[in-house]
Amino acid sequence: MDIIKKITLVRHGATEYNDKDLMQGRIDLPLSERGIRQAESLRDLLRERKFDIIYHSPMKRAFQTAEIVNQCHQLDYIPIENFREIHIGDWEGDKFSNVFTKHREVYQKWIVDASVRIPGGESYEDVQGRVKSGVIDILNSDYHDILIFGHAAVNRGILGNMLTMSPDLSRKFRISNCGFSTFLVYENRIRSVKRDDLIPHLFVSLENWNVTTHLENIE
């Protein structure tokens, strides 16, 4: 089978909240100094790679990471609204340790059940459901070599859709700041498939996941 798309999926570089271990969903922060260095290291690693287009979350940290990597490519950007990070409601801006202490019961349910919603926010199941339309748009596009810049929960949701995993399974994959993953999409020989039913009829291979070797010397 011929490879019809190669999709490189990137999590944004670190922000001040990532550096301080604070919970961050819809809070729209730029990259920290460390996050900028991470993005520059990824830029240098991907300098010689060929890409056709960049899809990205409209949030600052994702787009800033995309801009830095794109310094070597000068590609067009396509924002996808549904690629915004998970809405973590009442937990926004709090320390992980505080959330576990103050909201122990709901946190314990949320961490093991992808359908449980954060108070005032979303569940992982919600995220994987809403990113599906963006994944379908990308798979139906005419672009071959694609860069996507997203977030931890969003990228897990993209993984789940690409490989037809349940949210309970896809949420278990570790994703580091400025780590990247690669999907290979093979030719779909079924020509009569409707647009919204496309994913189950594609053969998608995960070539690598959460590559971080370029970040080893960044503190």
Catalytic positions, written as ranges: 12, 85
Q: H or E stretch including 3? A: strand 3-11
The 10 Å Cβ neighbour count of residue 65 is: 30
Q: H or E stretch including 16? A: helix 16-19
Q: Please, what's the b/e burial string for 144-160 (b: 16 or more CB within 10 A of its CB; e: otherwise)?
A: eebbbbbbbbbbbbbbb
How many angstroms separate the CA atoms of 166 and 127, rounded?
A: 12
The vertex-170 CA angle with 204 and 4, nearest 5°, equals 15
Q: Is 206 strand, coil or helix?
A: strand
CA–centroid distance for 70 within its chain: 17
Q: Which residue has the tokens 């100094």?
A: 33
Contact status, residue 56 vs residue 79, Cβ threshold 8 Å: yes
